[in-house]
Structure 1
């Protein structure tokens, strides 16, 4: 695998040698001072270009970055599903190379760059031939810190969690595994993870990031809570599914009560107790 220095030198050299590229900047985990570096981190790079057209007319130019194993062009995906993108302003290639490195490369015109450059505090300038990049402070992940919920947001999260469990229960009872799994792993889990984020926030004065899709949960939760969270995952066996559901209930109840107490928000114990009773009835085929 090529080293970080080799990849960064390559990115900068290509930009320096191509007059169409006027500036380079990087974002993502490699600019985040709070993240420990490892070999799996992507290189999130943007080239500021005079125009995108020549780079799109012959896309083979990206071969200069290395031997590509798999590539994705998300702008084409958007177009395939009817989402409009202006290829004259920007375009992106996601490239995984055979040596294991990955570069997510975007090209943007100066106008497009100026519209969003300051929108992410993890932006780090690497090269600026024309002094066109706006001035920034040192990179920080502040934009990704947990935000304190309002009382209404807290109430809605609790209600959504408990309410949607009735759909999970019915899906299991009807042997509709795809529906039950989707409702549980998408809708219900989203509420669990939102509450976990708020729990982490209350314990850190809302000054840290839980990471994309909760990847930092293990870092910020107690061992007991993280083990409980890990047990909310299940396979297709319905007995195991039910066990995961009730573990999710216990976890949600525990952290929601803690968050509510910390923020001065009232936890609705009635919907908790009533839905728990309903779940037990469905599980035991006692619904009348």
Structure 2
């Protein structure tokens, strides 16, 4: 496996020898002083270039970075709507295990690019045309204090969508129930846990993408409670996971509300919880909910 220095040298050597590349930036976890370092870290590279079309039309130039296991070019894919505007990205996994996420950015967007992310480091600036950047920091990703309205909306969304899970379970629509449990309820729970972690750490830490650093900040008890919210493939276990998720959301929300001086709607909680338990006990042959 090529070393980090070898990969960076490869990236810079190509840029040095191609007149269309005017500057090189590095973003992501490799510039984050608080991110754990390991062999799976991507190289999030940006080439600020002239003549974008010439790069995109003939993609053989990327072969210089090594033999690939697989590559994805999201801006060329019918399945996903382009998200980068006039930019273009190559996500490349190589046979030695290294990965480069390389984004082409028109040189005209240089000032915009330099302001987008405080985890940006400039590796090369051929024309000395880029602004001077501060040392990289992940401050933009720190858990932030929610407004009272945002807190209330999070609670409302959690309780509202929990009824969809119950409906799916009664109907024996397991994929529907899983979808709402994991893709709508869970983000609300993780958001609430993020706020709790922020409060306990002066809003100066990040829980990472998908909450990947949460274990570091939660008590052992809370961590195991979170793990218990993941269900297996049975209807009964989804009910169990839903109840576990409700208990953790409730206890976490009350802590957040208390610490921030916000109101937690106990009435909403109690009414929905009663409804969920009622649906759970409904006969499979029931023709009326009440």
Partner Cα separation in structure 2 for residue 222 and residue 82 of structure 1: 40
CA shift at 1:156, angstroms?
1.1
2:141 equivalent among 134, 140, 144 = 144
Alignment partner of 2:23: what SS? strand
CA shift at 1:90, angstroms?
2.2
Q: Contact (CA 8 Å) 1:73, 1:94: kept in 2 or not? A: yes
CA shift at 1:111, angstroms?
0.9
Partner Cα separation in structure 1 for residue 81 and residue 179 of structure 2: 25
- 2:282 corresponds to: 285
- 1:2 corresponds to: 2
- Consecutive unaligned residues of structure 1, counting only runs of 5 or more, are none
- 1:117 corresponds to: 114
Q: Contact (CA 8 Å) 1:146, 1:210: kept in 2 or not? A: yes
Q: 1:172 to 1:99 in 2, by over 3 A?
A: same
Give yes or no for the alignment of 1:177 onto 2:170.
Answer: no
Q: 1:106 to 1:151 in 2, by over 3 A?
A: same
The alignment of Structure 1 onto Structure 2 pairs a total of residues equal to 285
2:262 equivalent among 262, 265, 278 = 265
Give yes or no for the alignment of 1:13 onto 2:10.
Answer: no
CA shift at 1:80, angstroms?
5.5
Partner Cα separation in structure 2 for residue 99 and residue 83 of structure 1: 29
Instruction: Give CA deviations for 1:131-161 in whole Å, capped at 9, x if unaligned.
Output: 1222110000011111211111111111111
- 2:31 corresponds to: 31
Moved segments of 4+, more than 4 Å: 79-86
Partner Cα separation in structure 2 for residue 72 and residue 114 of structure 1: 27
Q: 1:228 to 1:84 in 2, by over 3 A?
A: closer
- 1:59 corresponds to: 59
Partner Cα separation in structure 2 for residue 188 and residue 99 of structure 1: 38
Q: TM-score, normalised by structure 1?
A: 0.95
CA shift at 1:175, angstroms?
0.6
Partner Cα separation in structure 1 for residue 227 and residue 76 of structure 2: 36
1:227 equivalent among 224, 227, 234 = 224
Q: 1:183 to 1:84 in 2, by over 3 A?
A: closer
- 1:163 corresponds to: 160
Alignment partner of 2:203: what SS? coil
Q: 1:84 to 1:122 in 2, by over 3 A?
A: closer
Q: 1:206 to 1:84 in 2, by over 3 A?
A: closer
Q: TM-score, normalised by structure 2?
A: 0.94
